[in-house]
Structure 1
Amino acid sequence: MIQYIFKDNDDVDKIEFQLEILELQGLPKLISFCSKNKGSTSTSPQETTLFNQKTQFPKLKELVLSSISIERIWLPQEFCSTQNLTLLIIEGCANLKHVLSDSMVEYLQQLEGLEISECKCIHEIISMKKIIKEAFRNRYLICFPRLNSLKLKGLQNLIGFCHEDYNVEFPTLKILEIENCPQLKGFIHNSTSKEILTDEVLFNNKVVFSNLEKIIISQLRKVKRVWDSQLHTNSLPMLKELSITECNVVLNIFPPFLLGVFQRLEKLIVTDCTSLEEVFQLQEQGLDIEETLVANCQLREVNLIRLPKLKHVWTKYHKGNISFESLRQVCIEDCWSLKTLFPFSIAKNLQQLERLTIARCGLEEIVSKSVEESGELKICFAFNQLSFLELWDLPYLTCFYPGMHRTTWPTLKQLRIHWYGGIKIFGHEESQIQHSLFLIEKVIPQLEEVSFSDSDIAMISDGQFAADLFCNVKFLRISCYFDVSAIFPISFLIRFYNLEGLDVVFCNFKELASFESDVHEEKDMSITTPKIKKLKLDL
């Protein structure tokens, strides 16, 4: 097994390698890059360092270390030869304890990418030199002027990037990923803190990400808050995408006073956070944050999935000073504590919304009512760009909005609905407009995909509608025929001239080939079924 890459005979004081790329992978017995003496097999403390004082890499740009057993890569005084390094990747080095010291940072001015993963002994990325600890306390600045990607993954004992005695700046960082670091206390940590009850905050005012666009964090067991209430004034103004997964003690995502900081945020993904109760927190201890905050959020996409304690996406009595008019896609799944989705002030301004999915949730109403809109005489929710709507397994849903209103869906093409509680989905009388979500005559002709339950089909079959009502429907889903004596409504299909796909789900039909007619059809009529290309039976 390889212990050294290069053996030195001690005849020279320095060895320069002209390498630009160096990859050391799968070398579990490697002691050092260069041995101290020819033929020596001893392992002095200095030799446990991968690169000793004799090895120089003045042209090295990329360094990849994978599955090697060294404890230290460099000694601080021997690091100056890597000033051209642009990429550093370290993975699977189980014994590695030291990555960088504060004095090394000045030689990493060209570094553009830093990735460290699956190194179980690392406690911090940048360690402090004891000789300068007191001299620079609270004044020492660490800066990575060219770093654009930072990824920390599977670091089981990492407590922070560096100690809070430093201020850290990442002026060009675009992507930050922190995953499966269960002991992480904060990006900037205070390992000597004795305050047991203090909430652990991931980002505080000691770190500045002036151009950061994407943050991915997951499996952080100790972080209760993502942001400190006093972020640096220039931190995160360019953030566009935020993804949070399996952070099980986080209670809210955006605390009061900070929504104005994230006005460029476009995409939000929150998944499997078991303690999360609120996403956008606009009220705290009786204070109305919106009285003093006016912001136009650029948020375009929201995905909230498997959040069992989520009670509010937005503060229930949201006054509307903070606008979410740019929303294009909203997906809410498996949030059983959520009783309502949109505050009235947000729902009435969703004219750019294109896709809305709500599945397996405890929703009772989609839009909440509050005292602010009680004076409005004609309430209309106009979803002028919505092309896709899915309401799936919502057993407690009773209404779209608890008051007199009407809705418009001029561009709706796909309508997926199943198990939707007591809400009336389809209606065809003007007097019922506030009780049904859709008027058949207005919404059906424009649909290309639609779902019908047994009651929907019965109501449509009993009505007098134009023969070409379903002329544009290409995909039909039939569900909820639970009675074992139910007969498959095959004659209903003759209305769908252009049907290409048929799904039959959650039904107890004994057979599909029964040609018993609907009430308005001639018993001796000839039935021609559509030219279905795709048939799915999930009974």
Structure 2
Amino acid sequence: MSKLEHLEIDSKGAKWLMSNIGKYRINSLKHLRLNYSWQSEDENLYSFLHTIPNLQILKVSFWGIREFVPSGNNAPKQRLGSVLLVKEFTLEWCYELEDIGFERDPALQRSLHRLVLNSCDKLIRLAHSSVSFTHLTYLQVSFCRELKTLVTCSTAKSLVHLTTIKVSHCDKLNEIVTNDEGSDKEIKIVFAKLITIEFEGLRNLTSFCSHRCCEFSVPLLEKLILKGCPNMKTFTAKLITTPKLPSVLVGERDEEKRYWEGDLDAPMLPSVLVGERDEEKRYWEGDLNATVQMVFADKVDLELSKYPELKQVWCDQTLGQVNRFQNVKSLVVKRCDYLVHVIPSHLLHCFKNLENLKVSDCDGVQVIFNMEGNSNKMTKAMAISRLKTLSLENLPNLEHVWNTNPKGIIHFEALQSLSVDRCDSLEYVFPSSMAKDLALLNNLSIKNCEKVVKIFAEDKTISELEDTAIMIVFDSLSTLYLMGVPLLKYFYPGQHNLQFPKLTTLNIEAYKWMILNCQEAETFVDQQIIVPLEQVNLLFHGLEKLSFYMKGAMLTWELKSRILEFGYSSQEVLFEEKLKPDYIELLSRLKGLRILSLFRLKSIGLENSWIHPILDIIQTLEVKWCYDIKNLVPSKVSFSSLTKLVVHYCSGLLYLFTSSTAESLTQLKEMIISNCLSMQEIISKEDDESKESNESIIFEQLEILHLEGLPMLRWFYSGKRTLRFPSLQELTMFKIWRMTTFCPHIHINLDSVKLRSGRSYKAYAVQWEDNVDTTIRKMKDKIVRLLSF
């Protein structure tokens, strides 16, 4: 022990060492790391350190410590051995640390060369204004969430040997050097040896020092990095000289996401933090303050609500704004209730490189682009022409996207996506003259706008309203969404023919079909109609998906796969009444049927005889999130073409189907039943089923059977008819707690089956035994053992 130089020890070991310090001297110890637990007591820590006379490097990880150098009644009555002359001091993961207490140990102040603080969440200040770090060369502070300032001017003046300062991810830090309380005297601070400054992820940092009486000189500064400091407007309030600084390296804060898939061979690891490398740029405008101001003006992404000081810039037309926002590519305007015009006329010329504009939750906004006033600045050379995406959401008083004809100042040759949602005062979106400019428009979505009458409004200045019909082609439009627009009367004015050669997804109310390829109608046809398939294919050659409402349900029609999806309805019975011939014609062409999120559905209505011919051609059936459904299919219903059946989260089902329906499933290849909490069996025997029946139920083509999350399931089938699965290759069972046998009255031979207890749930996996019942019992025994453990 007397020759030990490097020691890493936990709280129990430290307590033992403290109690035996007289027996085991550690006079040669130079490097000590203490890893303390939350429950550890700290009153003897500081005294213990004074028993190590040659300690130079100290690292403390002490979750529960509140003070490093004790104060008041907690201060040690006597110090054993020498003074503490640590040169390198690290405090990390000291989540309860509120005060380090440097002012209570002058020797420690003088000895420190390197100081690192990490994850000291409750630390409010680094040091009292009386503290002097005359030998400190390296200072690093990170993840100190409550820290608002770093040092006072008095302490900063003592940092004559500081070469490097790094500060990162301190959420409340608004400046590095702050004024001494009550002092207004002129002061000059010289960081004579400072070479490197790095600030990262300081979202509230506004300046290095805002004190107007404090002048700075950093004669050797060569490297200054500002990453993720969006609110920094100037470096210092007064002059700062940096003769060797060539430029400032600036980057936006990295976008970070957390991932966890349950296994990285690290049982205590909560997640993995992954970040993309941000784009960095170098700036220099002759001096440091001018450069920082230029960085602010050169922002690529600007969220207006984060800069309240820009309110005057937006609202005062007398202010000159030459090139201030010339590099902004993305502008987000959210909850800025003072705005009437999102981009006022005196700022139009500033956003010529704008690519993405999102406006939301602004009650006062009436116009997006104000074209009135300061017309001398609005020339084609300064046009907004690079806009790619425009999103307008929850703007209750929006009346116009632009209040007069853009006349080439704003045009949409580059526009790819336009989304308008909950803009209840808007009556139209485009002037008709703009239709020819929308060659790149890929997505058009107009939703929940109760006063929208037209998408394109009349433009009296052009000759498009003559008697001759014109051709309008939307070459790139692939997705069109027109929902919640009850007053929508027409898409485009006058006589015209519309073409959508690339349209793949159409979402529209059924009775609005007429607007897409006819003239303005004088009256509404207030009834639900279905356009024949031939007409749909004629209008939209590449259409893959069509969505509309029918009888209160959202229908999505996948044309190529011929699948019809019913979703989000309050209906209790889906096919209660016989449908019109148009609807029956539609259903007779289907290959698949999906029923999703009909939360009040009690019956699909398949007992109606008019729908039975349709069931014989259905190849896939999916029923999901229908919590109240009591009966999936009635007895005697046939699914002679069904190849895939999926039932998911149908909590009211007691069984899936009867034995007579099971007989018809000769083409079924895949059956997936999951999270049906009340299901007791898959196949229910019928009352008239003969006890002596020798007729087999044969799942001739079934290859995959997946049963999961069925806690009440007791067996697959309780009758005495023979079940056969000649093609079954994969059987998955997981969370089947009550099942002890596959069929209680018959033996099932599944020689070719690969039994799995549940995909990635390795803990419950078992090997296949001679038969399914033996394997089920083995799996159940393993689950019981694991749960007991």
Q: Does 1:77 align with 2:157?
A: yes
Q: In structure 2, how many angstroms separate the alpha carbons of the residues matched to 1:503 and 1:296?
A: 43
Match of 2:605, as an amino acid?
A: L
After superposition, the Cα gap between the structure-2 partners of 1:66 and 1:105, relative to the gap in structure 1 and judged at 3 Å, is farther
- Asked if the contact 1:343/1:368 (under 8 Å) is kept, the reply is yes
The range that moved more, 228-237 or 358-367, is 228-237
> In the TM superposition, what is the alpha-carbon distance from 1:413 to its structure 2 partner?
1.0
After superposition, the Cα gap between the structure-2 partners of 1:113 and 1:64, relative to the gap in structure 1 and judged at 3 Å, is same
SS at match of 1:209: helix
Partner of 2:504: 413
Q: In structure 2, how many angstroms separate the alpha carbons of the residues matched to 1:36 and 1:382?
A: 79
Match of 1:308 among 388, 393, 396: 396
Q: Does 1:266 align with 2:355?
A: yes
Q: In structure 1, how many angstroms separate the alpha carbons of the residues matched to 2:190 and 2:408?
A: 46
Q: In structure 1, how many angstroms separate the alpha carbons of the residues matched to 2:485 and 2:215?
A: 60
Q: In structure 2, how many angstroms separate the alpha carbons of the residues matched to 1:86 and 1:54?
A: 16
After superposition, the Cα gap between the structure-2 partners of 1:339 and 1:82, relative to the gap in structure 1 and judged at 3 Å, is farther
Q: In structure 2, how many angstroms separate the alpha carbons of the residues matched to 1:376 and 1:515?
A: 51
After superposition, the Cα gap between the structure-2 partners of 1:66 and 1:345, relative to the gap in structure 1 and judged at 3 Å, is farther
- Asked if the contact 1:332/1:357 (under 8 Å) is kept, the reply is yes
| Residue deviations 1:71-90 (CA, integer Å, cap 9, x gap) | 65342424565553354332
> In the TM superposition, what is the alpha-carbon distance from 1:352 to its structure 2 partner?
0.8
| Residue deviations 1:315-357 (CA, integer Å, cap 9, x gap) | 3422233322111122221221222222334333111111122
After superposition, the Cα gap between the structure-2 partners of 1:452 and 1:131, relative to the gap in structure 1 and judged at 3 Å, is closer
Q: In structure 2, how many angstroms separate the alpha carbons of the residues matched to 1:269 and 1:80?
A: 48
| Residue deviations 1:131-151 (CA, integer Å, cap 9, x gap) | 679xxxxxxxxx996424214
Match of 2:144 among 63, 66, 70: 66
Partner of 1:128: 211
Q: In structure 1, how many angstroms separate the alpha carbons of the residues matched to 2:356 and 2:87?
A: 45
Match of 1:129, as an amino acid?
A: R
Matches within 5 A, 1:76-475: 76-78=156-158, 84-91=164-171, 110-116=197-203, 126-130=209-213, 146-151=225-230, 173-175=250-252, 208-209=295-296, 211-218=298-305, 224=311, 227=314, 230=319, 233-284=322-373, 287=375, 290=378, 294-295=382-383, 297-362=385-450, 363-375=452-464, 377=466, 378-418=469-509, 423-425=512-514, 432=518, 440-443=536-539, 446-454=542-550, 470-475=559-564
- Asked if the contact 1:110/1:145 (under 8 Å) is kept, the reply is yes
Q: In structure 1, how many angstroms separate the alpha carbons of the residues matched to 2:306 and 2:213?
A: 32
| Residue deviations 1:43-84 (CA, integer Å, cap 9, x gap) | xxx995389322655344x52152457765342424565553
| Residue deviations 1:260-310 (CA, integer Å, cap 9, x gap) | 43233222222222222222222238x486456542522212222222222
Greater strand proportion? 1
Q: In structure 2, how many angstroms separate the alpha carbons of the residues matched to 1:323 and 1:17?
A: 64
- Asked if the contact 2:416/2:443 (under 8 Å) is kept, the reply is yes
Match of 1:128, as an amino acid?
A: H
Q: In structure 1, how many angstroms separate the alpha carbons of the residues matched to 2:325 and 2:351?
A: 7
- Given the two structures, how large is their TM-score scaled by the length of structure 2? 0.47
Q: In structure 1, how many angstroms separate the alpha carbons of the residues matched to 2:308 and 2:593?
A: 48
Partner of 1:463: none
After superposition, the Cα gap between the structure-2 partners of 1:355 and 1:477, relative to the gap in structure 1 and judged at 3 Å, is farther
Q: In structure 1, how many angstroms separate the alpha carbons of the residues matched to 2:602 and 2:401?
A: 40
Partner of 1:26: 95
- Asked if the contact 2:102/2:108 (under 8 Å) is kept, the reply is no
Match of 2:493, as an amino acid?
A: P
Match of 1:3 among 52, 67, 74: 67
After superposition, the Cα gap between the structure-2 partners of 1:401 and 1:54, relative to the gap in structure 1 and judged at 3 Å, is same
SS at match of 1:253: strand
- Asked if the contact 1:29/1:68 (under 8 Å) is kept, the reply is no
Q: In structure 2, how many angstroms separate the alpha carbons of the residues matched to 1:398 and 1:210?
A: 44
Q: Does 1:493 align with 2:587?
A: yes
Match of 2:605 among 508, 512, 521: 512
Report how many aligned residue pairs link the two structures. Answer: 456
Match of 1:2, as an amino acid?
A: R
Computing the radius of gyration from Cα coordinates, the structure with the larger value is 2
After superposition, the Cα gap between the structure-2 partners of 1:302 and 1:525, relative to the gap in structure 1 and judged at 3 Å, is closer
Match of 1:398, as an amino acid?
A: K
- Asked if the contact 1:331/1:357 (under 8 Å) is kept, the reply is yes
Q: In structure 2, how many angstroms separate the alpha carbons of the residues matched to 1:71 and 1:284?
A: 45
Supply the RMSD in Å over aligned alpha carbons: 5.2
Greater helix proportion? 2
Q: In structure 2, how many angstroms separate the alpha carbons of the residues matched to 1:454 and 1:47?
A: 66
Q: In structure 1, how many angstroms separate the alpha carbons of the residues matched to 2:596 and 2:352?
A: 42
User: For structure 1, which runs of at least 5 residues remain unmatched after alignment?
Assistant: 10-14, 41-45, 134-142, 153-157, 178-204, 458-468
> In the TM superposition, what is the alpha-carbon distance from 1:445 to its structure 2 partner?
5.3
- Asked if the contact 1:454/1:480 (under 8 Å) is kept, the reply is no
- Asked if the contact 1:383/1:409 (under 8 Å) is kept, the reply is yes
Q: In structure 1, how many angstroms separate the alpha carbons of the residues matched to 2:438 and 2:126?
A: 64
Q: In structure 1, how many angstroms separate the alpha carbons of the residues matched to 2:513 and 2:473?
A: 19
Q: In structure 2, how many angstroms separate the alpha carbons of the residues matched to 1:105 and 1:530?
A: 80
Match of 1:127, as an amino acid?
A: S
| Residue deviations 1:179-226 (CA, integer Å, cap 9, x gap) | xxxxxxxxxxxxxxxxxxxxxxxxxx9755364222234477786466
Percent sequence identity is 19
Q: In structure 1, how many angstroms separate the alpha carbons of the residues matched to 2:102 and 2:299?
A: 36
After superposition, the Cα gap between the structure-2 partners of 1:232 and 1:84, relative to the gap in structure 1 and judged at 3 Å, is farther
Match of 1:30, as an amino acid?
A: D
After superposition, the Cα gap between the structure-2 partners of 1:320 and 1:393, relative to the gap in structure 1 and judged at 3 Å, is same
| Residue deviations 1:414-456 (CA, integer Å, cap 9, x gap) | 11224x8x844477xx8x46669x9524245532221234499
Q: In structure 2, how many angstroms separate the alpha carbons of the residues matched to 1:162 and 1:59?
A: 21
SS at match of 2:620: coil
After superposition, the Cα gap between the structure-2 partners of 1:235 and 1:513, relative to the gap in structure 1 and judged at 3 Å, is same
- Asked if the contact 1:318/1:343 (under 8 Å) is kept, the reply is no
The range that moved more, 291-300 or 408-417, is 291-300
SS at match of 1:372: coil
- Given the two structures, how large is their TM-score scaled by the length of structure 1? 0.66
Partner of 1:139: none
The range that moved more, 335-344 or 234-243, is 234-243
After superposition, the Cα gap between the structure-2 partners of 1:525 and 1:326, relative to the gap in structure 1 and judged at 3 Å, is closer
User: For structure 2, which runs of at least 5 residues remain unmatched after alignment?
Assistant: 1-64, 72-78, 80-84, 110-124, 180-186, 217-221, 241-246, 255-291, 526-530, 629-789
Q: In structure 2, how many angstroms separate the alpha carbons of the residues matched to 1:440 and 1:163?
A: 66
